[in-house]
Amino acid sequence: MGGVWSFTDIAEEKRAEKCLKEREQFFTTLLEAIRDGVLIVDENGSIKYANRAACGLVDLPSTGDCIGRNIHEFVSQDKARAGYRDLLRVRGDNAAVPSEYTLVTPAGRVRRVEGLSSTITWKEKMAIVVTLRDVTERKQAEAEAQESSDLSRALIDGLPEYIFALTQEGEVIFANPAAEAALGYTRGGLRGKAVQSFIAESSLQDFGTAVQETVTGDRNRSFEVGIRTKTGGILRVTLRVAPITIKNRDAVLIILTDLTERLILEKELEYHADELKRFSESLSRTNEKLTIMNSITRHDILNQLTVLLGYLEIAMEDSREAGVQENLARIKFSAQNIREQLEFARDYQDLGVREPHWSDIRWHIARLRQDGVTIETGLQKMEVYADPLFGRVFYNLLDNAVRHGKRVTRVRVSSRIDEDGTLTIVWEDNGVGVRGDEKEKIFRRGYGNNTGLGLFLCREILGITGIAIRETGVYGKGARFEILVPKKGYRSVQERANLPDPGAQA
Question: What is the DSSP code string of 448-504?
Answer: SSS---HHHHHHHHHHTTT-EEEE---TTT--EEEEEE-GGGEEE-PPPTT----SS
DSSP-derived secondary structure for 91-118: HH--S-EEEEEEEE-TT--EEEEEEEEE
Residue 272 is predicted with a pLDDT of 85
Q: Which CATH class is domain 19-136?
A: alpha beta
CA 29 to CA 202: how far, in whole Å? 75
| Residue type at position 494 | Q
Per residue in 134-170, pLDDT (tens digit) is 888 888 888 888 888 778 777 777 778 888 888 888 8
- Number of neighbouring beta carbons within 10 Å of residue 62: 10
Is residue 252 predicted with pLDDT exceeding 80?
yes
Number of H helices and E strands in the chain, helices first, is: 12, 18
CA dihedral 190, 195, 199, 201 (to 10 degrees): -130
CA 211 to CA 222: how far, in whole Å? 11
Strand-strand pairing, 374-378 and 410-417: parallel
Average of pLDDT values for 251-257? 86
Residue 173 near residue 251 (C-beta atoms within 8 A): yes
Residue 254 near residue 248 (C-beta atoms within 8 A): no
Residue 489 is predicted with a pLDDT of 92
Buried b (16+ CB within 10 A) or exposed e, 352-375: beeebeebbbbbbbbebebeebeb
DSSP-derived secondary structure for 254-319: EEEEE-HHHHHHHHHHHHHHHHHHHHHHHHHHHHHHHHHHHHHHHHHHHHHHHHHHHHHHHHHHH-
Residue 369 near residue 428 (C-beta atoms within 8 A): no
User: 29 or 387: whose pLDDT is higher?
Assistant: 387
The segment with the largest mean pLDDT, out of 111-125, 214-228, 274-288, 360-374, is 360-374
CA 194 to CA 202: how far, in whole Å? 17
Angle 302-305-310 from CA coordinates, rounded to 5°: 130
CA 484 to CA 472: how far, in whole Å? 12
Per residue in 359-400, pLDDT (tens digit) is 999 998 988 888 889 999 988 888 999 988 888 899 889 988
CA 161 to CA 181: how far, in whole Å? 11
Per residue in 453-489, pLDDT (tens digit) is 778 888 888 998 999 999 999 998 999 999 999 999 9
Q: With residue 325 as reference, give the H or E element that holds it.
A: helix 322-350
Residue 425 is predicted with a pLDDT of 93
Per residue in 166-210, pLDDT (tens digit) is 888 888 988 888 888 888 888 888 888 888 888 888 888 888 888
Beta bridge partners of residue 236, listed in sequence order: 226
Task: Tell me the C-alpha to C-alpha distance, in Å, between residue 427 and each of 377, 394, 473.
Answer: 9, 9, 10
Residue 496 near residue 362 (C-beta atoms within 8 A): yes
Residue 291 is predicted with a pLDDT of 61
Is residue 350 predicted with pLDDT exceeding 80?
no
Domain ranges of the chain: 19-136, 159-258, 263-347, 354-492
| Helix (H/G/I), strand (E/B), else coil: 217 | coil
pTM of the model: 0.41
CA 455 to CA 445: how far, in whole Å? 8
CA dihedral 264, 270, 273, 274 (to 10 degrees): -130
State percent of the chain over pLDDT 70: 83
Per residue in 53-98, pLDDT (tens digit) is 888 888 888 888 888 888 888 888 877 777 778 777 877 666 677 8
Q: How confident is the model at residue 497 (pLDDT cuts 50, 70, 90)?
A: very low
CA atoms within 13 A on the CB side of 368: 31
CA 496 to CA 381: how far, in whole Å? 9
CA 484 to CA 462: how far, in whole Å? 9
CA 320 to CA 315: how far, in whole Å? 10
> Distance from first CA to last CA of the chain, Å, rounded?
170
CA 229 to CA 200: how far, in whole Å? 9
Average of pLDDT values for 488-502? 64
Establish whether domains 19-136 and 354-492 are of one fold. no
CA 2 to CA 5: how far, in whole Å? 10
CA 57 to CA 34: how far, in whole Å? 13
CA 84 to CA 92: how far, in whole Å? 13
**What CATH number was assigned to the domain covering residues 159-258?**
3.30.450.20
Match domain 354-492 to its CATH number in 3.30.70.1560, 3.90.79.10, 3.20.20.70, 3.30.565.10. 3.30.565.10
CA 267 to CA 261: how far, in whole Å? 10
